[in-house]
Amino acid sequence: MTRGFLPRMVGELRPIIEAGGYEAAPAGTAPRPSLRKAIEGDAPRALIVEYKRAAPGSPGRPLPQYRTDAFLDRIRGARVAGLSCLTAAPHFDGSPSDLRALAGRDPRPILFKDFVIDRRQVDCAARIGASAILLLASLPRAGIDVPLAELADRAHALGLEVLLELHAPEERVWIDRVPADLIGVNVRNLDTLEIDRTTASATLEGLSHRSPVIGLSGVTGPESADWFWSRGVEAILVGSAVARSEEPLRLLASLQRRSEGGPE
């Protein structure tokens, strides 16, 4: 079992779940659109933009605080396939109510970005208007009680898609254990919160047939985006860079441009 950030998150989330922290009211939105279809429709360079209030481990000044409506205004007009919302309260200051607000204002698919360890979080995601949930292949090492496959089955039963996140090559075994609709590779080691592109690059090798594949974390500009594009991903998720940017539309457009031979 790991002894870093992930076990702390699991320990801090459990009392929040038991206290009803994921009992948010229904969003009352229209049927959820498919995140997978949105990415496939915008491939080969689809963008998912994340709404987040804090970013532990991310370098730079604290994230500017935008309301959900201001966040949507900042990316209005950009070519964005889908949204992501970080709903975890510990260390991220997130809330399911943030995703519910986004779902009520924007028709695009939304990823429920959290450390999902309990069926009640999956139920919450379906209730508040999410299109997909994130499941972390690294979480079983942190001592969760419910198998990832069971959480994925619950999500599918509720009409949600599943994004399975990997970091290290040995985590690829979970692709055959968890019925996922999308695969993501995070350049950040979520136990240490350090960026490790060497490990992530090894994980990405051989995943091109597992379409669509999404690059997660570490995207600060065109060069870091090209790092992912050159390794065959169909989409990338970007959050902190957009929050900090004074020109978010220009930043997002730059992430989708083709450059002459991206960085290796």
261 confidence band (pLDDT: 50, 70, 90): very low
The rounded mean pLDDT for the chain is: 91
pLDDT grade for 130, boundaries at 50, 70 and 90: very high
**CATH code of the domain containing 214:** 3.20.20.70
pLDDT digits (tens, 9 = 90+) for 148-198: 999 999 999 999 999 999 999 999 999 999 999 999 999 999 888 899 999
Report, in angstroms and rounded to the nearest whole number, the Rg of the chain calculated over CA atoms. 17
**Both structure tokens of 97:** 């109510």
pLDDT above 90 (res 1): no
Does the predicted TM-score (pTM) go above 0.85? yes
Domain that holds residue 183: 5-22+34-256
In a domain, 89, yes or no: yes
Helix H segments across 158-221?
Answer: 197-204
**Residue 206 maps to a domain:** yes
Q: Tell me, what's the pLDDT at 64? A: 84
Distance (Å, rounded) from C-alpha 180 to C-alpha 163?
Answer: 6
Q: Is residue 146 part of a domain?
A: yes
How many independent structural domains does the chain possess?
Answer: 1
Q: Determine the average pLDDT of the residues in 73-86.
A: 96
Helix H segments across the chain? 5-18, 35-42, 68-74, 96-105, 119-128, 148-157, 197-204, 222-229, 240-244, 248-256
